[in-house]
Amino acid sequence: DAKTTQPPSMDCAEGRAANLPCNHSTISGNEYVYWYRQIHSQGPQYIIHGLKNNETNEMASLIITEDRKSSTLILPHATLRDTAVYYCIVRVAGGTSYGKLTFGQGTILTVHP
C-alpha cells in the first residue's frame, strides 16, 4: 500500500471548516483513499473513502486531486468533539493484503472555542 504524509498537528476554530491535507504521491490506480479518526481512548472511527471522485457524506467531504497524488478531508463546521487524531490511509481494494489498514502517525486536530 502507498505511504501517506500528513502534518503532525493542526488547529481550527470552532464553527470554521477544518481542511486536513494528505499526500500520497505513490498511489496506484487501484488504491482507495480512506480517512479515519480516533478520539482519545476510543477505537478509530471510519469517516469517508474514495477512489478518484470527490465524496461527501454526513460527516465530511473528501477532495482528491485529479492526479490522485493528494487529498483533503474537509469538516465543514468543526466542533469541539471533532478534536481527534485523523488518519489518511491508502490501500488496495482487493488482493492479498485486503485485510490490512496501515495507519501512520496521523494529524492531531485541535478545535478551539
Partner 1 sequence: DTGVSQDPRHKITKRGQNVTFRCDPISEHNRLYWYRQTLGQGPEFLTYFQNEAQLEKSRLLSDRFSAERPKGSFSTLEIQRTEQGDSAMYLCASSLRHNYGYTFGSGTRLTVV
Q: Using CB under 8 A, list all residues that contact partner 1.
A: 32, 34, 36, 41-49, 85, 87, 93-94, 96-106
The minimum distance between CB 51 and partner 1, in angstroms, equals 9
Closer CB to partner 1, 95 or 113, in the complex: 95
- Which residues share a beta bridge with 109? 10, 84
Query: How far does Cα 43 stand from its chain's mean position?
Result: 15
CB of 70 to partner 1, least distance (A): 20
* Residue number with CB closer to partner 1 (6 or 70): 6
Task: State in angstroms the smallest separation of the CB of 14 from partner 1.
Answer: 26
Contacts of 69 (CB under 8 A, 6+ apart): 23, 24, 25, 27
User: 14 or 92: whose CB is closer to partner 1?
Assistant: 92
Rounded Cα–Cα distance for residues 10 and 107 (Å): 7
Asked whether 90 and 107 are in contact (CB, 8 A), the reply is: no
